[in-house]
Amino acid sequence: MSIPNYCDVKYWNKRYREQSKTTFDWLEDFGSLKDYLLPLVSSESKVLIPGCGNSQLGELLYQKGTEKVFNVDFSESVIEIMSQAHRDKLRMKWEVMDVQSLSYPSEYFDLVLDKSTLDTLLCEVKPSAELALAQYFRVLRKGGKCLIVSFNEPETMLPLISQQTRTFTVTQTGSEAFPNYIYCLQKEAE
């Protein structure tokens, strides 16, 4: 059995069409992240979820009162499926976009929430992950936070993170056998 090419949009379009009636959360779900996430947002926060896939994260944030949730993914299939499923949530956005070239203005978001999107890019090409993280920081307001949920250990992530900021924390979650990490990065106010 071969490993899928996670950077190939055809793989994701096919996968999401086959899973059109289900949702899936990589690594951690809202329940395991809410204690980290909810203190970072308010009803007025603008949140970007890059590589949103068919996760329930945006929907659950919306239900908790953070309605300005911008979900982006390069898969047209998943954006179409999810935007239809959540058409009643008027302030939540679903857009087809490459995380390496975000079309949002600089300093637009209060929080960027990456849940294994950088992991996917690191599986294929490290420069892609570097471009994506640089975009996250470009669209993040001064003093804003970037929460990265990853299976990559600090030895892998810290060189990438240190290119963008010196202000971050690392928390280990998951089980001892299958640990995950939460990297909370802050964009410095300068």
105 burial level (CB within 10 Å; 0-12, 13-18, 19+): exposed
For the beta carbon of residue 186, count every other beta carbon within 10 angstroms.
16
**How far apart are alpha carbons 19 and 24 in whole angstroms?**
9
Q: According to CATH, what is the number of the domain 9-16+25-186? A: 3.40.50.150
* pTM for this model (two decimals): 0.92
* Length of the chain measured in residues: 190
Q: Which pLDDT tens digits describe the chain residue by residue (190 residues)?
A: 667 777 788 877 788 888 878 877 778 889 999 999 999 999 999 999 999 999 999 999 999 999 999 999 999 999 999 999 999 999 999 999 999 999 999 999 999 999 999 998 888 766 889 999 999 999 999 999 999 999 999 999 999 999 888 899 899 988 888 889 999 999 988 6
User: In Å, how far are 32, 62, 78, 90 from 29, measured between CA atoms?
Assistant: 6, 15, 18, 23
Rounded to whole angstroms, how far apart are CA atoms 151 and 115?
10
